[in-house]
Amino acid sequence: MLAAPLPLVRVAVRSPALAAGVAALLGSFGLSLTDGDGADVLVVDDFWLTDPEALAAELEGIAGVVALGSGAWVGTLHELAPGGWAALGPDATPAELLAGVLAAAAGLAALSPEEVQPARDEADEIDPEGVTLTPRERDVLALLAEGLSNKRAARELGVSESTVKFHVQAVYSKLGVQSRAGAVTRGVQLGLISV
């Protein structure tokens, strides 16, 4: 199974400082950025909410959109986004931003963790599509979503780097992927990690 290519991202955030920060974070995850046409995902801020027609025009030919700002985006994004979308708060973590971009590119809808309530207490015990991860594999997948290297994940978990590599390969195998980005995307799709 071939891993899906990483999406090309265009950052259209009004604040130059925020735009630079978002671009730097996404670049650090290995995503390619563009200032022009050809983007797969558009990252916007609340400024775009004031002119939904302009946003709709910007979204033509784009697979998904990530909105950073208020929760008021959900209804607008649901109506305007041609494919996937993510509505993230202004304090979204780097991992949430990455997961939002990957979810939007994959045609999924994603909300910040604060907006999502588990449907039931046994949410961690759900076995989506026959995929069963051990608690340690879930920990490793969550650290992959945060962008941690094997070495940093090993320090975080208090285990050896070889142990983390073993768990990463087990996660890849169980999710049917061959890359970290693929594992995070599949984990989001299956509800194993939240964005």
Spell out the per-residue pLDDT of the chain, length 195, in tens.
Answer: 455 678 899 998 888 888 899 999 999 999 999 987 788 898 988 887 777 788 778 878 888 888 888 666 666 676 777 678 888 887 788 888 999 899 888 888 887 766 655 444 444 444 455 778 888 988 999 888 888 888 988 898 998 888 888 888 888 888 888 888 888 888 888 888 876
Biggest alpha carbon distance in the chain?
52
Question: Of 73, 96, 115, which closes a domain?
Answer: 115
Question: Of 72, 88, 115, which closes a domain?
Answer: 115
Token pair 């949430």 in the structure block, residue: 96
The structure's pTM equals 0.57
Question: Of 83, 115, 147, which closes a domain?
Answer: 115
120 to each of 117, 125, 131, 137, how far by Cα in Å? 9, 10, 19, 22
Number of domains in the chain: 2
130 domain-assigned: yes
